[in-house]
Amino acid sequence: MILNLIKVHRLISRAQLSKLSKMSATSISRIIAELINEGLVRETGQTSSGVGRQAVLLELNPSAIFTIGVEIDREIIKAAIFDFSAKSITEIHQSTAVNNSDPNEAVDQICSLILSLIEKTANEAARYCSVGIGLPGVINSDEGVSLFSAQMNWKNIQLKSLVEERLGIPVYIDNDQKVKALAEYSYGSAQNSKSTLFIGIGSGVGSVLMVNGNVFRGGSNSAGEIGHTTIDPNGILCECGRRGCLQTYIADWALIQEANKLSPTQNIDQLFEASKTESWASSIINRAVMYCGMMISNAVCMYNPDSVIVSGSLVESYPELITMIEEQCNKFVWEPYKDTFKIYSSELGGSANLIGASVLATNKYLEQ
Ligand SMILES: [Zn+2]
């Protein structure tokens, strides 16, 4: 708990720790002495400001412990080593068709990427406490199993134990959107937010609700699959096999599919380029934006969050969409909810998955 308080506050005095933890000054001094002795915490040269006796400030020792964050997606594996203060030390990417190969091959690739990262950092004294992995699909995070992932073509893959067996380091896994929301809460747009709704828009549409820093998981860790809420039972076929899911109006593949009914379009960039001059293209984008605004205002009715973070490849490539979505959301949102929440873009963008995977690893280490 004390380590966590120091992590959250970054710089903190013993007196502040005593106040926040409701523990005596003597207990705090004893615990801090132990943590300093173990090399996890250090005294900084700085002292607290303000009136009264100046106290020495403490911080985490960034090189005490290292975690490894891994991001897996359908065609890429990324891995990075992070220090205790969540700073990325080395990062490595490998393009590979994860979705078209045997999951055991992906496990081999993940492990060899991690081993080459460790070799690259060449710090023999470094302690690697754990590995965090963020990946798409339905995850049993307690057991470390990828239950189902349409993107990766995976079913019941015991990812945690497979990687642990090869590396001998504890491994924790979670859904990529949940991991990203965790990163935004810890280091990005959602810091200090009590209830955050995180929305991801890209090849799919997902959401994560975070309350006081905890992910709301639901009964089977699947809460937030907002992209598969039915909008039109006779609508377009979704990749889940049902018709008219919300994401068939928003996801990048759905927009390209819709565009191809009107004019040959290979990718999302072509659609956005065409939208500058062609009304058929801009109407597809405007419709997607309208559904995004509607989705957020519906979710606000259900959860009453204080902040909404809109993230994902689509808004990262086209940040102007955020303002457009905000305008649509303001049109739809019910009066009592007006001005009760703010819409933010992701502060961490494409790095959120790796950072979040490392935060997952660090949090699990601190929970032990
Ligand atoms: Zn669906």
**Could you tell me the distance, in angstroms and rounded to a whole number, from the CA of residue 86 to the centre of ligand 1?**
35
CA–centroid distance, 230 to ligand 1, in Å, is 8
Provide the terminal-to-terminal Cα distance of the chain, rounded to the nearest Å. 11
Q: Is the pLDDT of residue 107 over 70?
A: yes
Give 100 Cα–ligand 1 centroid separation in angstroms.
21
- pTM (2 decimals)? 0.86
Ligand 1 geometric centre to CA of 134 (Å): 21
CA 252 / ligand 1 centre spacing (Å)? 14
- Does residue 368 carry a pLDDT above 80? no
Distance in Å, CA 233 to ligand 1 centroid: 11
**203 CA → ligand 1 middle, Å:** 12
pLDDT one-digit tens code per residue, 314-367: 999 999 999 999 999 999 999 999 999 999 999 898 899 999 999 999 988 888
Question: 2-60: which CATH number, 1.10.260.40, 3.90.550.10, 1.10.460.10, 1.10.10.10?
Answer: 1.10.10.10
Separation of CA 235 and ligand 1 centre (Å): 11
Of the options 3.10.20.30, 3.30.70.1530, 3.30.420.40, 3.40.50.1010, the CATH number for the domain spanning 66-181+351-367: 3.30.420.40
Look up residue 291 and give its two tokens: 């559904």
CB atoms within 10 A of CB 82: 25
Express the helix, strand and coil content of the chain in percent, nearest 5 each.
45, 25, 30
The tokens for 272 are: 């956005």
Q: How far is the CA of 236 from the centre of ligand 1 (A)?
A: 10
Q: What is the pLDDT of residues 277-314, one digit of tens each?
A: 999 999 999 999 999 999 999 999 999 999 999 999 89
Residue 54 Cα to ligand 1 middle (Å)? 58
d(CA 230, CA 235): 9
The full set of domain ranges for the chain reads: 2-60, 66-181+351-367, 191-346
Fold of the domain spanning 191-346? Nucleotidyltransferase; domain 5 (3.30.420)
What spacing in Å lies between the alpha carbon of 248 and ligand 1's midpoint? Answer: 7
CA of 94 to the centre of ligand 1 (A): 29
Gap between the Cα atoms of 25 and 23, Å rounded: 7
Distance 227 CA to ligand 1 centre (A): 7
> 237: CA distance to ligand 1 center in Å?
8
Picking from 94, 95, 239, 230, the residue whose alpha carbon sits closest to that of residue 153 is 239
Fold match between 66-181+351-367 and 191-346?
Answer: yes
Question: Which residues, chain by chain, have CB under 5 Å from ion ligand 1?
Answer: 228, 238, 240, 245
85 pLDDT band, cuts 50/70/90, is confident
Q: Assign 52 a pLDDT band (cuts: 50, 70, 90).
A: low
- Phi–psi pair at 119, nearest 5 degrees: -65, -40
DSSP H or E stretch at residue 309:
strand 307-311
What Rg, from alpha-carbon coordinates, does the chain have?
A: 22
State in Å: Cα 220 to ligand 1 middle.
Answer: 18
CA angle 131-134-138, nearest 5°? 125
String of DSSP letters for 117-145: HHHHH--TT--EEEEEEEESSEEETTTTE
